[in-house]
Amino acid sequence: MTGHVEILREFPSRRVAPRDVEVWLPPGYDSSAARYPVLYMHDGQNVFNPDTAYTKVAWGVDEALTRLAAAGRVRPAIVVAIWNTPRRGPEYMPAKAMAWPRGRQALARAPRGMRRRPISDGYLQFIVGELKTEVDRRYRTRPGRDDTMIMGSSLGALISLYALTEYPEVFGAAACLSTHWPIGDGILVEYFAGALPRAGHHRLYFDFGTLGTDAPYEPFQRRVDDVLRAAGYVEGKDWLTRKYEGADHSERAWRARIAVPLTFLLGTATNP
């Protein structure tokens, strides 16, 4: 572990079930008066600590950010890792997309753990209206849109993009790793095509592997890329998509490439 993690145990909410939240403060936080951008991350068990990670492999975000900041490639940042709960599926599934007729049909065909009514609107209200308020109160943050980012993988990627489209005034950027697009055979692509904020004020990162659960993702992601181009998003500036040949759907794979989305989100002027 580099930097310092504070754990907000059983963080309460009026919207969703309480859960632990880990707040990582970068090296030098205690010895300066600087304010920091904030990156919110889902599946917080997997972000820093291999002992709590699903496969005993953590993303190593603390290590990567420390290394990148020391090299001058990113701005130092605070990371807020939000643990998931047994209701991960309903919390992460974009509710408004699933309210469409085809979305309801997709839920009916989904694996059992994902069939319940989405509660993602409440989950985002928890992040924006309760957690962010407390993080900005407790820590020296830069609370504006351009310094507030969100990231996740798989269903966590979907809720990250949903967060940006629902709260474009709060989140300036989202990173979506191994986005689980195939739900509903593309209904989510159609939904987000009509929900994106106007180009020029937000940044989006996407990636995918080619093995396992990631194997069918590419055609969907290419459709998303076409949507972004048509909406005026500039590739390499407003959005970035990366394909990782031979990568699967795992914490180990996301750890191996975490520096790329972190650099895109937090890159310095000379290292966007």
Taking a C-beta distance cutoff of 8 angstroms, is the pair 207, 225 a contact?
no
Kindly state the percentage of the chain with pLDDT values over 70. Answer: 93
* pLDDT (average), residues 204-227: 98
pLDDT in tens, 128-183: 999 999 999 999 999 999 999 999 999 999 999 999 999 999 999 999 999 999 98
List b or e across 50-87, with b for residues whose CB sees 16 or more CB atoms inside 10 angstroms.
eebbeeebbbbbbbbbbebbeeebbbbbbbbbbbbeeb
CA distances from 36 to 7, 22, 49, 247 (A): 18, 16, 22, 32
Residue 3 Cα to chain centre, angstroms: 21
What are the φ/ψ torsions at residue 154 (nearest 5 degrees)? 60, -120
Q: For position 272, what pLDDT does the model report?
A: 44
The answer to whether the pTM exceeds 0.85 is yes
pLDDT surpasses 80 at 111 = no
- Mind listing the domains of the chain with CATH numbers? 4-266 (3.40.50.1820)
